[in-house]
């Protein structure tokens, strides 16, 4: 039987907040909750990268990784990795992590006389590799093969790869004044774009347009055709995909400098002029390059586990253990009942002063809430929704970490495969406020999705804890979460009554394998004249 959610509970407040969220607009996607400086940067990068490389599905998969260290003097000296997903951990996730750690151990255990001092972030051609370097290539290709479905989706999202390729071809093609197929505005922007690129140089002073632009275009075209097929494991395709990714990553590093800011402004402006866009986001070539080639940086961070003494010691000197955390809420059905009186009750508890004309707004809001959950209302504007709401993976890891303190020392950082949602940010903020423990994630995209509040005293976390103390802490955290959710609802209502509700668009809001629809909802179409 579905569990009915009380209107005063954090789950219900989050359910309503999702329906009138003032934050779900493109300008609010990347607000940072924390600075990595608040935790050890090396540990933080490693945990984030481990989470990133565990995402192998095209959609509906988010992963978090935490770590527990044994206290000084403990007989148990192994590091404990805690892994969670927004659902229960998939078998491919655990198999892949075990495989990656085995490959890292091979590198770590390589005879010192045969090991080399290499720059992990530098591309090494397979045909020129020594046996030692080949171990790194094996690791990197394993990551690319596993992550290929998700990499391909990021690469092609909103047709940004097409925008990149078409605009780059125009950049090195005919001079703007000879492009009779363009409007005057487009010719003017292309002329500026072609002029600005003349100022773009590599570190050796050579012009980027002559040395690298052609290679970047070829790499982008190859990835467009072959990136997804890399998951099939063909050795030749994998090696070429690895090379193409590094080529684009090199372009990103060369161009990502303050002195080239004007060039990117002109590039984005030209793309914008050529698009018939339904996408809510303006073009951002540098951001796309960063996301499309992020696997290169995450590979380097993971590889350093085997080569950095501090990390290698933690993982391999004393061994490691992995715990895959269950997510019990993901399989439990819950039900929400909403009508006019409940909406008024929640708004009143949030400090919203309702006027007579708000009656129609409340009715409209209930309809919008029903539409967002693909269900219908009754004739009297009553809404019943039965669904599954997961405890998000970073909150699930935080709960597990709290249960082990002080018998274990937690790294005060939880790695995430993508930025946390706004509700997770609220939960972490409440946890820090109540417990005084400064645990952070990489940050928040500040949007919302289906979400369940974590409990420190759920059945799967009760073993070996002081239940009374944990219950008091859990109650305080939930009260703090509810307070912050009511504040969020009040802000959301203020925006709702003055403007149409913005549509939602975030991977974290994928409620089912079909829930994303990024490619179908927002395609940037290159305008052909």
pLDDT tens for 181-237 read: 999 999 999 999 999 999 998 878 889 998 899 999 999 999 999 999 999 988 999
In whole angstroms, give the CA distance from residue 331 to residue 88: 9
Pairing assessment for the beta strands 320-324 and 415-416 based on DSSP bridges: unpaired
In whole angstroms, give the CA distance from residue 441 to residue 395: 10
* pTM listed for this prediction: 0.89
Binning pLDDT at 50, 70 and 90, where does residue 1 land?
low
Tokens encoding 5:
């959610």
Pairing assessment for the beta strands 333-338 and 3-4 based on DSSP bridges: parallel
Binning pLDDT at 50, 70 and 90, where does residue 178 land?
very high
Q: Are 190 and 182 in contact (CB under 8 A)?
A: yes
User: Sheet of 3-4: strands edge to edge?
Assistant: 3-4, 333-338, 383-388
| Mean predicted confidence (pLDDT) in 38-48 | 85
| Total H helices, total E strands in the chain | 19, 10
Secondary structure of 439-483 in HEC code, one letter for each residue? CECCCECCCCCCCCCCCCCCHHHCCCCCHHHHHHHHHHHHHHHHH
143 has a pLDDT exceeding 90: yes
171 has a pLDDT exceeding 80: yes
Binning pLDDT at 50, 70 and 90, where does residue 167 land?
very high
Pairing assessment for the beta strands 320-324 and 79-85 based on DSSP bridges: parallel
259 has a pLDDT exceeding 50: yes
The pLDDT of residue 508: 40
The pLDDT of residue 445: 83
CA nearest neighbour of 166 among 283, 287, 293: 283
18 has a pLDDT exceeding 60: yes
461 has a pLDDT exceeding 70: no
pLDDT, tens only, 407-444: 567 889 999 999 999 999 999 999 999 999 999 999 88
Average pLDDT, the chain: 86
The pLDDT of residue 501: 45
Binning pLDDT at 50, 70 and 90, where does residue 355 land?
confident
Q: CA 97 from chain center: how many Å?
A: 18
319 has a pLDDT exceeding 80: no
CA nearest neighbour of 213 among 200, 225, 227, 232: 200
């Amino acid at each position: 039987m579905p569990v009915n959610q009380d209107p005063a509970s954090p789950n219900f407040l989050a359910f309503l907040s999702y329906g009138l969220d003032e934050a779900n607009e493109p300008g609010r996607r990347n607000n940072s909750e924390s600075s990595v400086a608040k935790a050890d940067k090396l540990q933080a990068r490693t945990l984030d990268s481990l989470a990133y490389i565990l995402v192998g599905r095209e959609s509906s998969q988010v992963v978090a990784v935490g770590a527990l260290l044994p206290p000084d003097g403990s007989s148990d000296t192994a590091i404990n990795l805690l892994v969670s997903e927004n659902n229960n951990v998939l078998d491919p996730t655990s198999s892949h992590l075990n495989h990656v750690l085995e490959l890292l151990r091979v590198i770590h255990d390589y005879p010192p006389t045969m090991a080399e001092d290499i720059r992990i972030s530098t591309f090494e051609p397979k045909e020129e590799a020594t046996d030692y370097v080949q171990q790194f290539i094996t690791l990197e290709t394993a990551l690319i093969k596993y992550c290929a479905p998700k990499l391909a989706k990021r690469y092609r999202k909103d047709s940004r790869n097409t925008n990149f390729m078409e605009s780059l071809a125009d950049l090195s093609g005919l001079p703007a004044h000879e492009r009779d197929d363009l409007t005057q505005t487009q010719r003017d922007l292309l002329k500026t774009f072609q002029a600005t690129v003349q100022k773009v140089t590599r570190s050796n002073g050579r012009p980027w347009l002559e040395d690298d632009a052609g290679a970047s275009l070829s790499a982008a075209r190859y990835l467009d055709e072959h990136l997804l097929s890399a998951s099939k494991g063909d050795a030749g395709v994998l090696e070429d995909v690895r090379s193409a990714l590094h080529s684009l990553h090199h372009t990103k590093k060369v161009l990502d400098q303050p002195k080239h800011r004007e060039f990117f402004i002109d590039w984005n402006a030209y793309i914008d002029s050529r698009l018939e866009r339904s996408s809510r986001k303006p073009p951002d070539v540098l951001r796309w390059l960063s996301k499309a080639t992020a696997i290169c940086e995450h590979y380097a961070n993971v590889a350093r586990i085997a080569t950095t003494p501090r990390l290698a010691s933690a993982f391999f000197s004393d061994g490691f253990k992995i715990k895959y955390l269950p997510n019990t809420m993901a399989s439990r059905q819950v039900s929400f009942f909403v009508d006019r009186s409940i909406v008024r009750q929640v708004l009143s508890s949030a400090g919203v002063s309702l006027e007579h004309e708000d009656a129609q707004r409340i009715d409209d809001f209930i309809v919008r809430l029903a539409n967002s959950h693909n269900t219908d209302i009754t004739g009297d504007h009553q809404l019943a929704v039965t669904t599954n709401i997961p405890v998000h993976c970073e909150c699930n890891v935080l709960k597990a970490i709290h249960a082990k303190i002080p018998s274990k020392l937690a790294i005060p950082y939880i790695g995430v495969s993508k930025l946390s949602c706004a509700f997770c940010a609220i939960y972490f903020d409440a946890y820090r406020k109540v417990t005084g423990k400064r645990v952070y994630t990489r940050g928040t995209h500040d949007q919302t999705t289906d979400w369940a509040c974590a409990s420190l005293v759920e059945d799967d976390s009760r073993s070996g804890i002081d239940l009374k103390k944990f219950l008091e802490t859990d109650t305080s955290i939930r009260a703090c979460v509810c307070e912050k959710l009511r504040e969020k609802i009040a802000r959301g209502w203020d925006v709702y009554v003055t403007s149409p509700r913005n549509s939602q668009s975030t991977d974290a809001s994928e409620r089912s394998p079909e829930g994303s629809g990024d490619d179908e909802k927002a395609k940037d179409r290159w305008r052909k004249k």
